Amino acid sequence: MFGPKHRTTQRPVTLSGIGVHSGEKSALTFLPDPDASGIRFRRVDLAGAPEIPADLEHVSETELGTTLALPSGETVRTVEHVLAALSGAGISSVVVELDGPEPPILDGSFQLYLEALEDAGSSELDSDVPCLTVSSPLSLDVGAGAARYVATASDAFRVSATIEFDHPAIGRQYGSFSLDNGEFEGEIAPARTFGFEAEAETLRARGLACGASLENTVVLNDRGVLNDALRFPDEFLRHKVGDIVGDLALLGARLDVHVIAERPSHKGNVALAHALAERSRRDPAGAPIVDIQQILQYLPHRYPMLLVDRVVEFESGKRIVGLKNVTINEPFFQGHYPGHPIMPGVLIIEAMAQVGGLLLMDAIDNPDDKVVYFMSLDNVKWRRPVRPGDQLVFEVELVQRRSSVCKMRGEGFVDGQLVAEAELMARIMDR
């Protein structure tokens, strides 16, 4: 499913300061991205100005912040404040140009980033933002006695969280916040990061919190808060909610989800993001993007060989998610393992290939004059039987295209469990 259109900044805007962990000077500039390529950090202080995509695949560390890295080793630390502000501003596509190893911590909150983005303005792009929800509750425990999460379907993005620290200024705090309709700006953005004076020396010896001070961190000693005042009585909780928003922004999607978090952490937030992404891949919900009537227009197959019922996710030239509802009325069940009906493995792969064919047909001119022929299959594996009553969910991605020859990778799931996978090679030809 898809939500609103991508948005980017209208003009560049720059902020500068020091990194909270590195202690090094840093300047950050938000640059417009009219190509709707998502959020990328560009390290202009490094040779070649490498770009690091802000997505789950590039998360490398989650200790006291979320770090992104390229396979070649370039990193950007502590990205969650920037990502939370971008989410709060509704910006889903931007180049974050960074002159330093991590964004400046500024005052320790999300607010100054959000204000800079508001000053930069925003403009709508042509492409849609994917919309992510869950059809049934998702539960996740991250480590014994550590973070716990539940995510349920919602008509908006909401976070309810509980934190608990053995400190008189914090104790146990709970709050629930809608992150749509501007509530992030007023209720979450001003909340600052926090730390404990007793841990400062140990952290700095490990290269952490080297830039932390009373100017950018709420610092607590044994008796209370060393800063002049808190911005909210539950500022600690609100900042943790902002961190959840920032880490879940790595999904690159609009969230129609209610997240309930107990003792959230960056490690837990990222684990939740992975679980939501996996659930979305394997258990799509909602109205079809392409229904059976449209499928009949694109595919040459007809009963009993038409094995795709609908398409529920689609990224042009990239990936597609299609469904096949398996019923006892399928003609192949009459002779394939009578009395113990199992869908033939070759037909599972055929259904996967038909979903892939729909992905390719969208990427070519004059699709009515073309047909997709599959040339080869590699690394085919069947993991478990498919039976009547199952719903097959196929995800197929385009790996490579050279002229009329295309390589794809497909996976099939039932109830979130992998049942089949294959690499497919196809050729687009004239009818």
Active-site positions read 266, 336
In angstroms, rounded to a whole number, what is the distance separating the alpha carbons of residues 258 and 137? 10
- CA distances to 188, 203, 329 from 164, in Å: 18, 21, 55
- Residue pair 8/35 in contact (Cβ under 8 Å)? The answer is no
How long is the chain?
Answer: 431
Q: Are strands 94-99 and 25-32 parallel, antiparallel or unpaired?
A: antiparallel
In angstroms, rounded to a whole number, what is the distance separating the alpha carbons of residues 67 and 88? 20
DSSP for residue 225: B
Q: Name 333's Cβ contacts closer than 8 Å, sequence gap at least 6.
A: 341, 343, 388
In angstroms, rounded to a whole number, what is the distance separating the alpha carbons of residues 30 and 47? 20
Q: Name 269's Cβ contacts closer than 8 Å, sequence gap at least 6.
A: 62, 66, 147, 243, 244, 247, 248, 261
In angstroms, rounded to a whole number, what is the distance separating the alpha carbons of residues 54 and 216? 24
In angstroms, rounded to a whole number, what is the distance separating the alpha carbons of residues 314 and 394? 12
Cα Dmax for the chain: 79
- Phi, psi angles (nearest 5°) of residue 23: 75, 5
- Residue pair 232/191 in contact (Cβ under 8 Å)? The answer is yes
In angstroms, rounded to a whole number, what is the distance separating the alpha carbons of residues 48 and 353? 40
Give bridge partners of residue 423 from the DSSP assignment: 378, 409
What token pair was written down for 292?
């059976």
In angstroms, rounded to a whole number, what is the distance separating the alpha carbons of residues 160 and 389? 36
Question: Which helix (H) or strand (E) covers residue 89, if one does?
Answer: helix 80-89
Give bridge partners of residue 414 from the DSSP assignment: 417
- Residue pair 94/32 in contact (Cβ under 8 Å)? The answer is yes
3-class SS at 319?
A: strand
Which of 146, 88, 129 shows the shortest CA–CA distance to 269?
146
Query: What 3 state SS string does 333-397 have?
Result: HHCCCCCCCCCCHHHHHHHHHHHHHHHHHHCCCCHHHEEEEEEEEEEEEECCCCCCCCEEEEEEE
